[in-house]
Structure 1
């Protein structure tokens, strides 16, 4: 199934538990469920981000760990959208493991991050995802991640 309708910030807030300053996905541009569920989400990076005060003053660079977290949040959006389609109960997805993380370019204020995440498999509440982040069509980061589902409140 493809749903090309964008997912706006209000819907993202209903999908993810994250809030300012840790919500790192601004919009979902498209998503598709089926054999290889995937999502294309974005974040607009501005100088007003709180981490730029200390990373690095005079030469602001988005921390790589936050780029990884943003890709994990995009995967979380995909997982929740899939669960809604299946009518499954609400669960939180926790990041369990990151493999093959690579960074090829710094991310600076004014960049628009495009997250491309594909679910490789979901078995017993454990999801394996492949993720890439692009700026201006060029890959700036990528990784594989494993996320685990837990019922909310546990």
Structure 2
């Protein structure tokens, strides 16, 4: 059972197709941790060029998936509700296994530090029982500008 579905996710973060890389949130402890799911399918646009005949999810998009889950964790904190979380830094990123169509990516995020308009999280992504990626991410939280420009 999911805590947040795709529609509810889109109410929290500005990402939309084709750059929304999360299907649902499995677990959420606001201000502490989140676990979310990304079902990787052959229909993803990036597989057309990465790599034809040998589809591999780009590592940067695994990081983006983790960042989106982290954004939800941060924005579910009362003091950041209604704002936007911007990725400020990626530290210690490691890629341990290839992610392919058909894989179910479990996105794990834990809040390490939060102060004023900043948050630092430890993240890792799993496929089954294998860790495929890990990184520390830093976010800057700012006002959401919803005006048309």
User: TM-score when scaled to structure 1?
Assistant: 0.90
**1:152 corresponds to which residue?**
144
1:26 aligns with 23
Deviation track 1:10-63 (CA, whole Å, cap 9, x = no partner) reads 1001011000000001100011136xx000001000000000000000000000
Per the normalisation by structure 2, the TM-score is 0.93
With over 3 angstroms needed to count, the CA separation of the structure-2 counterparts of 1:134 and 1:96, relative to structure 1, is: same
Structure 2 unaligned runs (5+)? Answer: none
Distance 1:80 1:134 in 2: 23
Residue 35 of structure 2 aligns to a residue in which SS? strand
- Per-residue CA deviation, residues 77-107 of structure 1 (Å, 9 max, x unaligned), is 1112223xx5x55211100100000000000
Aligned-pair RMSD on alpha carbons?
1.5
- 1:40 is aligned to 2:32: no
Matching residue of 1:131: 123
Structure 1 partner of 2:134 = 142
Cα distance in 1 for partners of 2:139, 2:39 equals 24
Q: 1 CA distance for matches of 2:82 and 2:112?
A: 21
- Report the Cα offset of residue 118 of structure 1: 0.3
Q: Kindly report structure 1 stretches of 4+ aligned residues shifted beyond 4 Å.
A: none
Structure 2 Cα separation of the partners of residues 81 and 97 of structure 1: 20
1:8 aligns with 2:5: yes
